[in-house]
């Protein structure tokens, strides 16, 4: 299955999907050293996003979140790619400075179509998400 959407930050990445129904704040919500979601009220608390294709509705929170994403990229704990329903500026900035492929506004709701553990390929250059299994 191939989903089409909007390129926010280009690049190509493939990995296991981690799907969250909750918005994510990288500042205070994710431990940049481990890549683990630490937000106490988050549905994916305790999950590790390192190397995953992280699927969630949108980002939230402080502008510092962009720099947390950048730090994660430098530490090797960042997600391989991000898929949103609609991306906000803080998350977009973080992905741009960190070279993380990011797509949004897909022709199908990624929260309904993509399931945890599925293998997903994001070709953000073409605005495509391919579900491989």
For residue 118, what is the enclosing H or E element?
none
Percent of the chain at pLDDT above 90?
A: 97
pLDDT on residue 70:
98
Report the chain's mean pLDDT, rounded to a whole number: 97
Q: Which two tokens stand for residue 72?
A: 């994660």
pTM confidence score: 0.97
Domains and CATH numbers, the chain: 2-131 (3.50.30.10)
Q: Which two tokens stand for residue 38?
A: 């630490």
The catalytic residues are: 62
pLDDT on residue 41:
92
Question: Who contacts 40 (Cβ-Cβ below 8 Å, separation ≥6)?
Answer: none
Q: Identify the band that residue 121 occupies on the pLDDT scale cut at 50, 70 and 90.
A: very high
8 A C-beta contact, residue 49 and residue 17: no
For the stretch 30-82, pLDDT in tens is 999 999 999 999 999 999 999 999 999 999 978 999 999 999 999 999 999 99
Count CB atoms within 10 A of the CB of residue 8.
22
8 A C-beta contact, residue 1 and residue 106: no
């Amino acid at each position: 299955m191939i989903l089409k959407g909007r390129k926010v930050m280009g690049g190509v990445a493939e990995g296991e999907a981690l799907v969250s129904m909750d918005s994510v704040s990288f500042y205070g919500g994710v431990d940049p050293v481990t890549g683990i979601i630490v937000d106490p009220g988050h549905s994916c608390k305790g999950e590790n996003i390192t190397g995953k294709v992280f699927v969630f509705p949108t980002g939230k929170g402080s502008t510092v979140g962009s720099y947390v994403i950048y730090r994660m990229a430098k530490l090797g704990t960042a997600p391989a790619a991000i898929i949103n329903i609609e991306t906000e500026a803080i998350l977009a900035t973080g992905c741009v400075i960190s070279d993380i492929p990011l797509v949004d506004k897909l022709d199908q709701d990624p929260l309904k179509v993509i399931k945890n553990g599925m293998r997903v390929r994001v070709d953000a250059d073409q605005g495509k998400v391919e579900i491989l299994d």
